[in-house]
């Protein structure tokens, strides 16, 4: 019987297409993606993922490899860096599309923020999302962060159950692209 090998590793620029898919799945709404990044949103997101210093940069991402095949990705960064990363991201999108995206503060200083978590459909229900979250929370703890935060659609009860099962608590609401989202946080006991 074969036991699958799951590795969580820091992303590289060559993971840009996977990261773009993850961000696309994380945002979820095609109309929102097109308003944000234009009609070629996957291409724009992949370019952002291959660049340093953006919200979706490979520098902020970790990849799950399942038997050597990329299966999912998670993106996280220090909330104190959000505005700087957001500005670089929005400037690049504006150069590509001619439109400056309207975004709002998803996080704040004092919180390590999980921007995106996505597992490719073929690899779902294998515990990969849980392992990515756990690995990122451990990384945030090692970096000295006391809190890890994320936003989740209030209607996505499966995601909420996953986050709750690893220790996140719903602490209120925050807007995301004009939509109300539940703000969850995990205390790292730092």
Q: Summarize pLDDT for 35-65 with one digit per residue, the tens.
A: 778 788 899 999 999 999 999 999 999 999 9
pLDDT-based confidence at residue 175 (cuts at 50, 70, 90): confident
With pLDDT > 70 as the criterion, what percentage of the chain qualifies? 96
pLDDT-based confidence at residue 30 (cuts at 50, 70, 90): confident
Instruction: Answer whether residue 150 shows pLDDT above 60.
Output: yes
pLDDT-based confidence at residue 107 (cuts at 50, 70, 90): confident
Question: What is the C-alpha radius of gyration for the chain, rounded to an integer number of angstroms?
Answer: 16
User: How far is CA 74 from its chain centroid?
Assistant: 5
Instruction: Characterize 71-106 residue by residue with b for buried, 16 or more Cβ atoms within 10 angstroms of its Cβ, and e for exposed.
Output: bbbbbbbbbeebeebbebbbebbeebbeeebeeeeb
Q: What is the mean pLDDT of residues 137-163?
A: 93
In a domain, 1, yes or no: no
Instruction: Answer whether residue 190 shows pLDDT above 60.
Output: no
CATH of the domain at 169: 3.40.630.30
**pLDDT at res. 1:** 60
In a domain, 71, yes or no: yes
Retrieve residue 33's tokens. 């993606």
- Residue 166's domain comprises 6-187
Provide the 3-class DSSP secondary structure of residue 162. Answer: helix
**pLDDT at res. 126:** 87
Number of domains in the chain: 1
In a domain, 101, yes or no: yes
């Amino acid at each position: 019987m074969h036991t699958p090998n799951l590795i969580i590793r820091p992303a590289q620029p060559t993971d840009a297409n996977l990261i773009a898919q993850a961000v696309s799945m994380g945002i979820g709404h095609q109309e929102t993606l097109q308003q944000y990044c234009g009609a070629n949103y996957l291409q724009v997101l992949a370019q952002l993922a291959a660049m340093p210093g953006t919200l979706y940069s490979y520098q902020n991402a970790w990849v799950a490899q399942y038997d050597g095949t990329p299966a999912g990705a998670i993106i996280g960064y220090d909330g104190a860096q959000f505005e700087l990363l957001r500005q670089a991201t929005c400037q690049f999108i504006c150069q590509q599309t001619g439109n400056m995206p309207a975004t709002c503060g998803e996080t704040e200083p004092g919180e390590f923020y999980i921007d995106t978590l996505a597992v490719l459909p073929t690899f779902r229900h294998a515990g990969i999302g849980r392992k990515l979250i756990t690995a990122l929370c451990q990384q945030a703890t090692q970096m000295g962060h006391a809190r890890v935060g994320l936003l989740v659609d209030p209607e996505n009860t499966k995601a909420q159950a996953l986050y709750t099962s690893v220790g996140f608590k719903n602490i209120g609401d925050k807007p995301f692209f004009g939509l109300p989202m539940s703000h969850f946080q995990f205390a790292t006991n730092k």
